């Protein structure tokens, strides 16, 4: 696939390099073309670097890491995103004492409103950047979930494939409205990582307990969040 990274910070660099290692063509975009080119030099395979506008035109799949900044604010031609898959990995800023307000509209939904002809998918927002250091091996051994929500089923499948390629277990989380739940989950894991000082390798994943003997707990199938 042709993958564009909008905003080549820690998250964008980590995921872009991992996808490049899997053979995808990756374009690292930045407000400053030289920064985008510098990031591309560290990656292997078919990588390029330049401006965010160039990344948007180049790619079929976009990783949007610019938190709280909409395409109409950042790109000179936001229509370049039409009909493309946009992965939103962002969470809100952390408020004092982790006193988050209720999410009535997710960042992903706001992004979708700004580019209504694109296919926005929420993913990769429930883990710290350190987890990507383990990808793809031995990450596969840990069973770390990536929760994927979006209105377009095919777009969700594309993002789930990209997650699986680099060692994650994708979890189809339904429509984009569910990004509100995923962003709340992202807020919670940051409380665990930072507020409870568990560190960047703490994760939240779905683990369905084995039903080898047809056992049930309390008359219901059991699932565990670890």
Q: Tens of pLDDT along 153-201?
A: 999 999 999 999 999 999 999 999 999 999 999 999 999 999 999 999 9
pLDDT reported for residue 69: 95
Q: What is the mean pLDDT of residues 76-84?
A: 98
3-class state of residue 86 by DSSP: strand
CA distance 8 to 46: 16
- Asked if residue 213 has pLDDT above 60, the reply is no
Q: How much is the CA Rg of the chain, to the nearest whole Å?
A: 18
Contact between 13 and 39 under an 8 Å Cβ cutoff? The reply is yes
- Domains, the chain, with CATH or none: 2-225 (3.40.50.720)
Contact between 48 and 57 under an 8 Å Cβ cutoff? The reply is no
Q: How would residue 8 be classed by pLDDT, with cut points 50, 70 and 90?
A: confident
Q: How would residue 226 be classed by pLDDT, with cut points 50, 70 and 90?
A: very low
Q: What is the mean pLDDT of residues 81-87?
A: 98
Q: Tens of pLDDT along 101-156?
A: 999 999 999 999 999 999 999 999 999 999 999 999 999 999 999 999 999 999 99
Contact between 49 and 41 under an 8 Å Cβ cutoff? The reply is yes
Judging by DSSP bridges, how do beta strands 119-122 and 145-150 pair with one another? antiparallel
- Please name which of 22, 73, 13 lies closest in space to residue 5, comparing C-alpha atoms: 13
The mean-pLDDT minimum among 58-62, 126-130, 210-214 falls in 210-214
Which residue in this structure is represented by tokens 């350190």?
A: 130
């Amino acid at each position: 696939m042709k993958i564009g990274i909008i905003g080549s910070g820690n998250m964008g660099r980590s995921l872009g390099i991992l996808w490049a290692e899997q053979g995808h063509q990756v374009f690292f975009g930045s407000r400053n073309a030289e920064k985008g080119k510098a990031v591309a030099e560290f990656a292997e395979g078919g990588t390029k670097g330049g401006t965010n506008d160039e990344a948007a035109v180049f790619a079929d799949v976009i990783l949007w890491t610019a938190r709280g900044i909409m395409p109409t604010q950042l790109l000179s031609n936001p229509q370049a995103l039409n009909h493309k898959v946009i992965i939103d990995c962002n969470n809100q800023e952390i408020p004092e004492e982790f006193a988050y307000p209720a999410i009535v509209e997710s960042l992903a939904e706001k992004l979708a409103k700004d580019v209504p002809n694109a296919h926005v998918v929420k993913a990769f927002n429930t883990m710290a950047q350190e987890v990507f250091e383990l990808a793809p091996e031995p990450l596969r051994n840990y069973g770390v979930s990536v929760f994927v929500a979006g209105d377009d089923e095919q777009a969700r499948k594309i993002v789930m494939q990209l997650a699986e390629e680099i060692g994650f277990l994708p979890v189809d989380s339904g429509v984009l409205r569910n990004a509100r739940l995923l962003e709340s989950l992202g807020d919670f894991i940051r409380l665990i990582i930072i507020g409870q000082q568990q560190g960047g390798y703490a994760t939240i994943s779905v683990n369905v307990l084995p039903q080898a003997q047809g056992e049930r707990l309390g008359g219901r199938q059991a699932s565990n969040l670890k």
